[in-house]
């Protein structure tokens, strides 16, 4: 059984896209055994992914000592192929130190990482303007696979988690919202008002989730709103997403994970271009991107997002039927 090492330590969005490529490789070439180098904070997600067989944990906060400890463990195995999905100096050095018969990286690698590769994969036809996942999919032909997705991401033991708080209300599963973002320009200030509209006018149950606590100051009828911000673990994230009817989020890791799992996803975009960073596949009937006027999220009214949500939900059955006919 040939051994493949993927190097993609961070960040969450990039890891999700890398996992989609790993799943595509595994589906088309199941003989490959896939190992992965990932930062400790993201390791629970990679460990749970069914496409990954072994995980090497990199503790970046330990500095050079953490780097050396990780690479000593990695060097215990000889890999047939090493793929650097990140293309930065640190991952280039990881590529150099790993014991691999062939080492392949990105054509757009930075910080001198390219000097550590035996080969680089070409960019898609759209070049650097291509969707970030289309760029990563170009690694597939290196293992004899086609550069295409092979279905939604799957995770181990999702059903074992008790998420009773995500049970449907009046026959409808909750709308799951991720109201925070690591970048100020990607934060939308309309989530509180959108939540009010979804509950009071839409009759929906809404759950907020995310790493950082954000207060929900509005009072709602019992059972209609739950605030899990500051109390959302990466271990439970796939199961949490799976229980939702819709996921609404800024351009963030959870948004990309929801789309990767084939769930109904709406991404709100400010300065970033959804053609490059939107929920993938962009033409999926369950993936939608709402772009703020002139890229400024503070110019996007909550009432407009609520109206778009209602139109999207109403049109979804027809869109899914068209997609099914196209793939028949």
pLDDT tens by residue, 234-249: 999 999 999 999 999 9
pLDDT at 318: 82
Considering only residues 309 and 185, tell me which one the structure prediction assigns the higher pLDDT: 309
Q: Which of 66-75, 108-117, 166-175, 198-207 has the lowest mean pLDDT?
A: 166-175
Report the alpha-carbon distance of residue 57 to residue 37 in Å, rounded. Answer: 6
pLDDT-derived band at 157 (thresholds 50, 70, 90) equals confident
Ordered by where they begin, the domains of the chain are 3-143 (3.40.50.2000), 168-326 (3.40.50.2000)
The rounded percent of the chain whose pLDDT value lies above 90 is 87
Q: What is the Cα Rg of the chain in Å? A: 20
Which helix (H) or strand (E) element contains residue 256? Answer: helix 253-260
pLDDT in tens, 287-304: 999 999 999 999 999 999
pLDDT range class, residue 107, cuts 50, 70, 90:
very high
- The answer to whether 181 and 243 are in contact (CB under 8 A) is no
pLDDT at 326 over 80: no
Torsion sign over Cα 65, 67, 70, 73: negative
pLDDT tens digits, one per residue of 192-236: 999 999 999 999 999 999 999 999 878 899 999 999 999 999 999
- pLDDT reading at 4 higher than 90: yes
Residue 177's nearest CA partner among 230, 244, 264, 247 is 247
pLDDT for 328 equals: 60
Residues forming beta bridges with residue 37, ordered by sequence position: 7, 56
CA dist., res. 41 & res. 214, Å (int) = 21
Cβ atoms of residues 40 and 58 within 8 Å: yes
Distance CA 225, CA 169 (A): 11
Q: Count, in order, helices (H) and strands (E) of the chain.
A: 10, 12
In angstroms, the CA 317 to CA 72 distance is 52
Let me know the angle formed at the C-alpha of 231 by 226 and 233, rounded to the nearest 5 degrees. 120
Q: Using 50, 70 and 90 to split pLDDT, how confident is the model at 30?
A: very high
Q: What is the pLDDT of residue 162?
A: 76
Q: What is the mean pLDDT of residues 59-65?
A: 95
- Of the pLDDT bands very low, low, confident and very high (cuts 50, 70, 90), residue 327 is low
């Amino acid at each position: 059984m040939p051994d493949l090492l993927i190097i993609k330590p961070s960040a969450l969005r990039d890891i999700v896209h890398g996992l989609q490529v790993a799943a595509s490789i595994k589906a088309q070439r199941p003989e490959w055994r896939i190992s992965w180098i990932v930062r400790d904070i993201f390791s629970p997600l990679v460990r749970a992914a069914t496409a990954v067989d072994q995980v090497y944990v990199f503790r970046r906060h330990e500095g050079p000592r953490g780097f050396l400890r990780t690479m000593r463990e990695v060097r215990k195995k000889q890999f047939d192929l090493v793929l650097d999905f990140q293309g930065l100096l640190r991952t280039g050095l990881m590529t150099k130190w790993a014991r691999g018969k062939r080492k392949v990286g990105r054509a757009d690698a930075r910080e001198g990482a390219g000097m550590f590769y035996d080969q680089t994969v070409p960019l898609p036809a759209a070049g650097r303007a291509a969707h970030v996942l289309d760029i990563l999919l170009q690694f597939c032909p290196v293992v004899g696979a086609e550069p295409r997705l092979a279905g939604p991401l799957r995770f181990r033991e999702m059903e074992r988690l008790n998420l009773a708080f995500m049970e449907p209300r009046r026959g409808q599963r909750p709308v799951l919202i991720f109201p925070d973002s690591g970048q100020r320009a990607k934060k939308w200030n309309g989530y509180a008002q959108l939540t009010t509209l979804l509950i009071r006018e839409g009759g929906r149950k809404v759950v907020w989730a995310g790493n950082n606590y954000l207060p929900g100051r509005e009072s709602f009828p019992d059972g209609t709103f739950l605030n899990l911000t500051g109390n959302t673990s990466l271990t439970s994230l796939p199961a949490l997403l799976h229980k939702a009817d819709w996921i609404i989020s800024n351009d963030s890791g959870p948004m990309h994970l929801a789309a990767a799992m084939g769930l109904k996803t709406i991404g709100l975009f400010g300065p970033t271009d959804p053609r490059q960073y939107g929920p993938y596949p962009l033409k999926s009937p369950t993936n939608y991107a709402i772009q703020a006027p002139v890229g400024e999220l503070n110019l996007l009214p909550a009432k407009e997002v609520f109206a778009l949500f209602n139109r999207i939900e109403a049109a979804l059955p027809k869109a899914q039927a068209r997609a099914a006919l196209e793939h028949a």
